[in-house]
Every structure is written in structure tokens, then in C-alpha cells.
Structure 1
Amino acid sequence: MTSPTFLGRVGSVAGSTISVRQAESVASGIAIIDGRSYRVAQVGTFVRIPQGYHDLYGVISEVGAQATPETLTDARQRGESWMTVQLVGEIVETSFERGISQYPGINDEVHLVTEQDLGRIYGVQDADQITIGRLAGAESIPVRIDLDRLVTRHSAVLGSTGSGKSTTISSLLRSICHSGGGERCRSARILLLDIHGEYGEALKSAAQVFRVNPSEDEQPLHIPYWALDTQTLLDFLMGPMSEAAYTGVLDKIQAAKLSVADGVAGIDVNALTINTPLPFSLKQLWADLVEPEHKTWADKERTNPALEEAGDAATLKLPRYQVPGTGSAAPYINQFGVLGIKRQLTQMRSRLLDRQYGFMLHPGEWEPNLEGKAAKDLPELLEAWFGHDKPITVLDLSGVPSQVLVRLIGGILNITYEAMFWGRSLPEGGRNRPELVVMEEAHRYLGKDSDNPARDMVQRIVKEGRKFGVGAMIVSQRPSEIDETILSQCGTLFALRLSNSADQAKVKATLPDSLMGLVNTLPVLRTGEALIMGEAARLPIRCRINLPPEGERPSSEDPQVSAAWAGARAQEDYERLAAAWRSQDPKWGQQTKQEKE
């Protein structure tokens, strides 16, 4: 008697790809097994090929005319249907393993995979696995992924706008934090770069949120300029300079850091460089650089300055000197320490006075005084980000000006990586307490630009981070715009609905296990449904991601246009709207209303 799971027989074998001749008994497309109905010959579903003491498993990648072997093109005229199957793994005794130890033979039976079979594959819950959703074709089977491989081998979550990326990220992070009732990952350490401010409310129960304009339960976001890469900082503050001027500015910075280095743990003054993370005063640096550029002398010997009004570093007030005389007349032009950077210093002063850069250039208690002494130093910054009692740190960058976003993200990643790298042997370091860095809207700052500090740091993380406990999760709606080196290093892919052909091609080029045919299902995936492939998944699977609870989902849902336009207009105040824009704070109006009440 034919088994109810029987689909057909192997017709040809070419490496990991096999062609299967579908049996006439299942031509209806539906099979009823143990009271449950199964769709037959669906792209993305599994098949089982018995091989005596063990079973081979594969995924259907093509069905119909395209799946017909070229040598049997007339088979369609005889009413035969074909399927193309990609072999992905096998069960030997009771354990499932990726890869195959033998190939099927011609005319070997091919069977439909039932929930019982899937339970054998996914039913074993190891200590390093977390549950993230349910199988799309069998809702009773939980989908689990390997947490170790998810972090150390890096991952990417890719999907078009509206496909459910933000909800997927929120669900993944919650699944990690709540695994085993919150006990299995109680020492988790996750850093989330939130570009649009979507996750503060969604993850507030499991995260410490840092924001430029914080609310009551959030912390102010401060990213001290002196902890960033010095070259990146100077490019932002001053723009292009001649090599001689650039060297002169670096010498000033190194001297300023040397002046505060004595007694600082871990500092060797003989090995100190301009990138050693030590506080120094930008205001004093500006004052020291601007003085020679404006100075004139009352005598030829240049011993008596022609000063009319002294400058002030604290308030960034320019010194005023007498205008140089014509020809050989006094006052005389200064010739000492002049770098020819008046324009660059004007830009630097403008940046320092611009309030929108205050989180970086005037970072609260991390801002040094004119002598270079700060109330808080690097240890307090690292503890604030990585040492609090919650598993997730959300850096809300929605209030960060776009002009500085790429540089700032590069600086944040540099701080994170360097701390985990150099502390890798310590209890606080990356190997003893690994860090997962989740990068939302990655296409905005991980493109192919020639000068991109954020991309350079992420390339370093995906190439070397595994050894030092730093993992990356790249999240993007446009994978075709992301640097190829970065995407190729992501061992696990969560591919949500993708409709753009260029984006689909990017996913197809990085697919493991030669499952190219699955890309064809990307445009028709449901919202919140993903193809999960790669290192962290036992098999490439189509998964329904668990939804976070109501009220704990990212603030990225589409506005209800019909309901909003049909309702009565609320009382409007465009002065409040303008104030929110000027303050770069979308909550400004709400806070003002609460203060009045």
C-alpha cells in the first residue's frame, strides 16, 4: 500500500540538486494525513527521502515546467509533473545534521514532510537555542535559532518598507531577553542604534534608552568628542586643511592630552597618541589656535602685542588686535605659529556654538574644563552604556543632524569595538560578555562611499569581531545599497518581503545551501513572515515571527489615513509645531502641555 506521504520518485541527481517525478496519486495538490491537510509541491516546503537507517531532507525550489529535466522536455506531454529539490541535511538515528553523507539513487521514494518529521528536526531545544516564531506551514512547530551563531557569525534582517522589519527586530531582541523566563540570557548585552526613534517605547521594559532630548525614564545621550577618532572629529569641526596645518593642530591636541595623562590608569606617556581616549578642551584648543592667526605686534622686534581686547576661550570670544599697517608701518603681522586656518577656525567656532551638536561637543559631565579635567571620564561612559542592569542599550539617534550621523555612528562603533577588543580578557570584555550591535536603517550609513568611517568600522567588526565577542546585526530595506563586503560576512539572513529585483538579487547572491529558487517567494511573503537561512538555522525555513505584545511594538506602523481624515480636527497650534522643529524634539509639545498641567 502506498504511504499517504508519498510524493514521487527521484528522476535525476546533480550534486545537491535532484529532480523528482511527482506521482499521479497526488496530482490534486492536497494530501490528508492524520486528519491534517498538507499542500503538496509548494516552493519552500520540505521533502524526506528515506535511505535505510537515515533520511535525507530537502527543500522544494521549483515546481512545474521549469523543473522538468532538459533531457525529458517531452515528459509534459505524457502528463508528468516535476519538482526541483535542494538537499540540505539528514537525520542519522535521532539527530539532525546539515549537509549530507550520501546521495539518493534513481527511483528512490520522496515523501512529504509531516509535523512529526518537523518535530524531529526542530523539537530538540538546546541551551544555546531561542524560540522566535512558528513554522509558516505548520503553526504547531516552534522555530528556534542558534544564539551563539546568530551573534558570532553576524546576521542581516532585510525587507521592504512595511514588511515587518521593526517588529521582527523587536521580537528577536525580546525573545533573547526573555529566553528561559529571563534567566538564560540575564547577562545579555545588546546595543541598538535606533535611527528613527522607534524602539524606545517598544523595548523600555528591557532596555536603557539614551536620547538627545530624554523623557523621564530615559537618559541623556552624550557622546564625548574626545572619545571619537581624532581625524574624523577634525574633518567635522574644521574641514579640509593643508598637511602642515593639520600636523600643527594634531600637535596641539597631543600636547593637551599629555597635560592630563599623569596618573590616569593604563596611560604610558611615551606611547600616547592623538587617538588615545583622553579628555581635552576644544574651547582651549580653539583659543590656542586662533590667537596666532589674529595677533599683530606694536614693534619690529615683535615683543609687544598690539592687543586691543583679549579673547575668552570659555565664551569663544575672538581676541581683537590692531589692524596691520601698510608696508613697513606698525603694527606688524605675526609670523609665529601661524597655520593659515582662519576659515577653518571660524567653522570650528560655529560648530561649537551650534546647539544641535551639543550632545557631542558639550557632553554634559563628560565635557572637560579649559584645563582638560572632566567630572566624568571614559570608565563612566562605558559603564553607562554597557554596565547597567538591563540587557539592551538603545541609542536613539533620531535627534542627531544628518550632517554628522555617519561620523557619529563610526565613533560609537569605534568606542564599542575598542572597549570589547582591549578588554577581551577581562570580565567586562567581549569574550566573557559578548556584545551584539544592531544597526537599523543600515543603508543610510553603510554604503559604498569612498570616505565612510561607519562602513570602515562595520567592516572591521564583521571580519574580526567574532574572535573578540562583538557581533553585528544589519537591518535594511535596501540591501542593494549596502557594501558587499559587509553583507557577505553575515552568516544568517532573515529575508522578509522584498519586491525590488536588485534587492532580491543581493539576497540571492548571499544565499547558503544553493537555495536560489527560494528567492522567488520573497515578493509574496506575508507581513511579519521571513525566510531564515544560514548559520543560526537548522534548515532554511519560512517562519512566522512572534508578534510582541500590544503596546510594546515599535512606533513604525502606518498612520490610519481614512480614520484620521474622517475624524474631527483637534485643536491645532502651529507655534508648538514650529517649536518642536526648532528644538529637534518631537515630544516638545507634549512635555510643554504636561508642564502646564
Structure 2
Amino acid sequence: MMHNATYMGSVSSVSSSSIIIELAESMGSGIVIIEGKNYRIGQVGSFIKIPIGYNQLYGVTSESNESSTHDVEIIESRSRRWIRVELIGEMIGGEFDRGISEYPSIGDDAHIVVDRDLKQIFGQPTAGQFTIGKLSSSDGIDVSLDLDRLVTRHSAILGSTGSGKSTSTASIIRSIVTNNDDVRLPSARILLIDIHGEYESALGDIAKVFSVLPDSKNPLYIPYWCISPENLIDFLCGNISEAYKTLYLDKAIEEKKKAIKTNNIKDFPTESVTTSTPLPYRIKNIWHELYYDDTVTWKEKEHINAAYAKDGEGDAENLIPPKFLPPATSSNPPFKGGNNLVKRQLEQMKSRLLDSQYSFLLKPGPWTPDKDGKIEKDLDQLLADWLGHDQPITILDLSGMPSSRLSLLLGSILDILFESSIWGKNLKTGMRNRPLLVVLEEAHRYLSKKEDGLAKQMVQRIAKEGRKFGIGAMVVSQRPSEIDETILSQCGTIIALRINNATDRGIVKSAMSEGLAGIIDSLPVLRTGEAIIVGESAKLPTRCRISLLPPNKYPNSRDPAVTASWTQDRTPENYEALVSAWRNQEITKEEK
């Protein structure tokens, strides 16, 4: 009886992993009632099964009644309905596995997959899985993802503005580490790059939040001396000649060598110091020395004594440049020494060093070398702050970071993390022993095809090599068409929410197998918070309703309440606090 109840048609064509099923005449209504539940026949994304001996082949409907092949034309000539199905897995002895070991034959029966079958496939989450929501077609079936594959093979969460992307991201992260708000993975390491300051409200109870904003509870510091000097000097000075760039690097190396002794750094020979060695150096001293070299004049032709103006030696610590007597004409002193070629660039460098927007980088708190080159805290304490605290999640709130420098500064964070994963891979504190998932919000801003900054270079490196060292990436974006294809192609799991733009849908299609194109075509009609999930961490290509967050745990990304705001009575307004916040580059707390 059950055989007849679930029978939907027979296989009429087999091609690679794609088959065509000719529907039985009894399927004319398009709806079948089995065990009191309605099942729609031929709906894109629905599952079918084909019994073959002891095996059960499973597939997902990718298109219906679309005359694109010779086989379809034959079927249509008989005035019969058909569906195209992509084979995705099989069940042998009650165990479901991706991939198929044998193909169906022409004439094999195809059956509707009922809830009982789905429960067998999806089963109960094992120790390596976590539940993220419910199957859209059956709200009694939990959808789980494989945590190991999600992290090590990378993932992407893609969706247009308003599709529930931020809320779904927060829900998935919360689902990874908690079960009914109880932390189930106390040693998890998830680091979330929060570009707009949205996630503290959603995850603050299970996260430690660092912010670049002034007066934050946990200030975010990125010591400039951890950044590649080649990249840093471009940020500080803009366009500068290779000769002066080399001079800067040489001075940085000498400063780093001094820091070894000043800070009592053991087991590191000075001859091993390079420009990329993460050792502290006094950047103000380098600025002062470069200024000296560029503007100096001499009392003698032999360049023995500098011809300082009155009180002109300057002060590196307070960024007061040295001043010299102007060179005289002919053979009279003072004699010209510097070429005055980079004074403009050094003034720009000074303005950067004084700019409060960059204090988290250029005045990194206890990681700032004092006038003697000594630091209060070293890199081990920085990593302990970011990764070694008692919460499973770290949020780096970069909402006050200038957009023009986001790539360099974010790239520097990733550089610190990736280098520590390489050199610590055999240590207990390393990422191979305790892996790290890096969640990259608003990824299109710094991972675009046109971008060539440090952030993109580092994410590409993590995407290609991160698995070896225990770092996984989760790319979150509303514009997948703008993300570098190399990065997106390395994402083994795609979680696609509603995507309205055809170009963006095309990119998502290209990141998936060709046969699933029909499923991706349904992206514009997905409900808010609903996603199509395909890839290595998912058992099946699945249409899923992401779990709702607790009422007080939503990201701070809600739409403004236009109607409610505009219908209020107009009252006098004072913009003084707004201008003060603007001038101080400080986002204030919400007014009551």
C-alpha cells in the first residue's frame, strides 16, 4: 500500500548525475496526501528516492517541464509531465552517504520522500554536528551541519540586504557554541570581524568584545610593529621613493635589534632580525631621524657638526622636528646636507601619528614602546587577549575604522593570526590543536576583484592554506559578484539567503554544481531568514529556515522605524551632541 501511495513515476532518461522522471498520470493534480500530509509533486528543491535492490538512491528536483533536451521533447510529445532530478546520495543499510555507487535504469520506479525518510537521512545531530534550523518543507525535521567541514573547508553566507543575513549569521554562530543558551563548546575559538558594530547585542553574553572606539571596555589594539613595514610606510607616508623606503626599513631593523636587549627577549639572535620580524620599534624615532636626514645642514664641508637653529634639535617623543640654519650660498657655511625631498610625506606621517582615529594602531596602549623602546606587554599577551579568554567568541568591533584604511588594518589582524597559526602549529596553544573560525562580515568591502590590499591577500592565503594550520574562514556578504572568485571558490559550504540581483545569483550558481541551478533560481522568492544550503558540511542540498534568535539577542542591524518616527509630534532638537560625536570620531550610546 505504501509503495502505491508514494509512487510518483518512473525513470525515463539517465545522463551523468542527472535523470528525468516521467510522472504517473495519477500525479496530474500535483498534490498527494500521504499519512495526513500534503506533498507537492515536482516542486524545485523537493526530494525523491529510487529503490534499487537494497539501496535507496536519493535526488533533489532541479527543474520541471522545461524542454531543453531531446528526451524532454519525446516526453512532451506524449503530453506527460516530467521532472529533472540531480542524484545526490544513497542509503545502504539505514546509513545515508553523499555520492552514488550505481545509477538507476530506465523504467525504475521513483517515489516521494516522506517525513519518515527525511528523519532517517537527517537523523539526530552527532557530536560533530550542530542544528541550525528546520527543513522548510517539513518543520519537524532539524537541519544540521558538520562542524569540522564547515570550519576546515570554509563557508560563505550570502544574501541581499533585508534577507536576514546578519540575523542568520548570529543564529548560526550561536548554534555552533550553545544549546538552549548553555555553552556546549567552551573551548571554541570564533573570531568575528564586525564592521558595523552589530553583533555585541546578539552575542555579547557569550563573547568578549574589543572595539576601536575610544573609552571602550576592551580597547582593540593592533601594534603597528606587527605590520609589515613595507605596507605601513605606504599608509603613513603615501607615495615615497624606494630610496627613502629602504632607509625607513633599515632604521626599523636597527630599532628592532635594540628592542631585543631593551626588552630582554631571549633565544633570538640579532643577526636573524628582518623587516618582517614582529619586534617593537620606536616609530617616532624613525620619523625624527628621517626628518633629520632630509633637512640637515652642516657647519663644515666634512659634515661633522649639524648646523642647528636655536633650540632646533627637536623632540622625537613629542613629534617636534629638528630645525637647521638655511644653507648659505657659495662655499660659506652652513653647508647643505639633506635634499628636502620628503618633507611633505614626513608631515603626512606626523599627522597620522597624531590622528586619534589611528591611535589603536599607532599608540597601541601597553604595546607602545616608550622613549627607551621598552614595552609593557608583548605579542603573547595580545594573542591571549584575543584568543585565550574564557568566552568561545571574540568580536572585533571595527565600526570606527576609516574605510580607506580598512584593508590594511584588517589584513594586519589576519596576518598576526595566520603567522601565529603557522609557527605554533605543533604547540598546545596553536590553531591545529584548537582551531579558529574567522567570520568576515561585509566581505565585499575588502575582498572585491578590484581590491589588492593586505586583507584580500591574507584571506586568499587562509582560503588556500588555512586548513593545514587550523584556521577556517566564513565569508559573509550581500554582493557575492564583487568577491574575488578565488576566495569564493574555496568555500566548501554555501548558505544562500534571498538574492534578488541576477548577477549575484549567477555567481552563486557558478560556485555550485551545474545541476543545482534550478534550486538557485528560487533564491529571489526565499522568505526572510530562509536559506538554501549546499556543500560539504550539509548532508543534502537543503532549503532551511534558520533558527530564530531569542527576542533580546538580535543584531543591531534592524531597519529604522520610519512610520513610527515620522508620525511623532515635532519637538525642538539640539544637534550639539551629534557634532561633538562627529568631531571626536566617537559613536555615543543611544539616548533614552
TM-score range, shorter chain: over 0.9
Question: Any idea what the Cα deviations from partners look like across 1:348-398, whole Å, max 9, x if unmatched?
Answer: 111111111111111111111122211111111111101100011100011
CA distance in 2, matches of 1:196, 1:344: 31
Residue 140 (structure 1) aligns with: 140
CA distance in 1, matches of 2:180, 2:426: 28
CA distance in 1, matches of 2:507, 2:303: 66
Residue 317 (structure 2) aligns with: 314
Residue 223 (structure 2) aligns with: 224
Q: Does 1:197 align with 2:197?
A: yes
CA distance in 1, matches of 2:398, 2:154: 22
Secondary structure class of the residue paired with 2:515: coil
Residue 447 (structure 1) aligns with: 448
Residue 178 (structure 2) aligns with: 178
Question: Any idea what the Cα deviations from partners look like across 1:257-311, whole Å, max 9, x if unmatched?
Answer: 0001133145232211111111111111111111122221233343332212220
CA distance in 2, matches of 1:549, 1:64: 42
- The residue type equivalent to 2:253 in the other structure is Q
Residue 246 (structure 1) aligns with: 245
Give the alignment of 1:101-120 within 5 angstroms. 101-120=101-120
Question: Any idea what the Cα deviations from partners look like across 1:327-361, whole Å, max 9, x if unmatched?
Answer: 323221116xx684222211111111111111111
- The residue type equivalent to 2:321 in the other structure is L
How far did 1:588 drift? Answer: 5.5
Residue 10 (structure 1) aligns with: 11
Residue 43 (structure 1) aligns with: 44
Secondary structure class of the residue paired with 1:250: helix
- The residue type equivalent to 2:247 in the other structure is G
Secondary structure class of the residue paired with 2:426: coil
Residue 553 (structure 1) aligns with: 554
CA distance in 2, matches of 1:359, 1:81: 64
How far did 1:493 drift? Answer: 0.3
* TM-score normalised by L of structure 2: 0.96
Q: Does 1:76 align with 2:79?
A: no
Summarize the Cα distance change of 1:479–1:341 in structure 2 as closer, same or farther, 3 Å threshold.
same
CA distance in 2, matches of 1:450, 1:34: 55
Q: Does 1:531 align with 2:532?
A: yes
1:201–1:552 CA contact under 8 A, matched in 2: yes
Summarize the Cα distance change of 1:573–1:405 in structure 2 as closer, same or farther, 3 Å threshold.
same
- The residue type equivalent to 1:25 in the other structure is S
Residue 258 (structure 1) aligns with: 257
1:576–1:589 CA contact under 8 A, matched in 2: no
How far did 1:66 drift? Answer: 3.5
Secondary structure class of the residue paired with 2:420: helix
Of 504-513 and 301-310, deviating more is 301-310
2:298–2:307 CA contact under 8 A, matched in 1: yes
How far did 1:159 drift? Answer: 0.7
1:132–1:172 CA contact under 8 A, matched in 2: yes
Residue 302 (structure 1) aligns with: 303
Question: Any idea what the Cα deviations from partners look like across 1:230-256, whole Å, max 9, x if unmatched?
Answer: 211111011222222211111100000
Secondary structure class of the residue paired with 2:84: strand
CA distance in 2, matches of 1:179, 1:99: 31
CA distance in 1, matches of 2:271, 2:331: 45
CA distance in 2, matches of 1:487, 1:266: 41
CA distance in 2, matches of 1:548, 1:452: 35
* TM-score normalised by L of structure 1: 0.95
1:579–1:588 CA contact under 8 A, matched in 2: no
Give the alignment of 1:418-437 within 5 angstroms. 418-437=419-438
Residue 59 (structure 2) aligns with: 58
Of 259-268 and 194-203, deviating more is 259-268
Residue 232 (structure 2) aligns with: 233
How far did 1:568 drift? Answer: 2.7
Secondary structure class of the residue paired with 2:105: coil
How far did 1:65 drift? Answer: 3.3
CA distance in 1, matches of 2:379, 2:341: 34
CA distance in 2, matches of 1:272, 1:303: 30
Secondary structure class of the residue paired with 1:144: strand
2:213–2:587 CA contact under 8 A, matched in 1: no
How far did 1:428 drift? Answer: 0.8
Residue 93 (structure 1) aligns with: 93
How far did 1:26 drift? Answer: 1.7
Secondary structure class of the residue paired with 2:171: helix
Residue 403 (structure 2) aligns with: 402
User: Which blocks of at least 5 consecutive residues in structure 2 are unaligned?
Assistant: none
| Percent sequence identity over aligned pairs | 51
CA distance in 2, matches of 1:469, 1:589: 39
Question: Any idea what the Cα deviations from partners look like across 1:506-530, whole Å, max 9, x if unmatched?
Answer: 1111104732221111111111011
Summarize the Cα distance change of 1:144–1:71 in structure 2 as closer, same or farther, 3 Å threshold.
closer
Summarize the Cα distance change of 1:463–1:339 in structure 2 as closer, same or farther, 3 Å threshold.
farther
1:56–1:90 CA contact under 8 A, matched in 2: yes
Give the alignment of 1:109-508 within 5 angstroms. 109-179=109-179, 182=182, 184-213=184-213, 218-262=217-261, 263-308=264-309, 309=311, 310-334=313-337, 340-449=341-450, 451-508=452-509
CA distance in 1, matches of 2:67, 2:72: 12
Of 33-42 and 430-439, deviating more is 33-42
How far did 1:494 drift? Answer: 0.3
Question: Any idea what the Cα deviations from partners look like across 1:196-221, whole Å, max 9, x if unmatched?
Answer: 111011110011001122677x3111
Secondary structure class of the residue paired with 1:327: coil
CA distance in 2, matches of 1:142, 1:268: 57
Summarize the Cα distance change of 1:475–1:191 in structure 2 as closer, same or farther, 3 Å threshold.
same
Provide the aligned length of Structure 1 versus Structure 2: 587
Summarize the Cα distance change of 1:431–1:304 in structure 2 as closer, same or farther, 3 Å threshold.
closer
CA distance in 2, matches of 1:486, 1:155: 10
CA distance in 2, matches of 1:54, 1:589: 60
Of 366-375 and 480-489, deviating more is 366-375
- The residue type equivalent to 2:159 in the other structure is G
Secondary structure class of the residue paired with 1:550: coil
Summarize the Cα distance change of 1:588–1:181 in structure 2 as closer, same or farther, 3 Å threshold.
closer
CA distance in 1, matches of 2:189, 2:478: 25
CA distance in 2, matches of 1:209, 1:276: 28
Summarize the Cα distance change of 1:121–1:570 in structure 2 as closer, same or farther, 3 Å threshold.
farther
Question: Any idea what the Cα deviations from partners look like across 1:314-337, whole Å, max 9, x if unmatched?
Answer: 1101222111112323221116xx
Of 366-375 and 470-479, deviating more is 366-375
2:13–2:71 CA contact under 8 A, matched in 1: no
Summarize the Cα distance change of 1:490–1:23 in structure 2 as closer, same or farther, 3 Å threshold.
same
How far did 1:180 drift? Answer: 8.4
Secondary structure class of the residue paired with 2:384: helix
1:191–1:393 CA contact under 8 A, matched in 2: yes
Of 536-545 and 346-355, deviating more is 346-355
1:421–1:468 CA contact under 8 A, matched in 2: yes
CA distance in 1, matches of 2:266, 2:168: 42
- The residue type equivalent to 1:157 in the other structure is I
Summarize the Cα distance change of 1:301–1:214 in structure 2 as closer, same or farther, 3 Å threshold.
closer
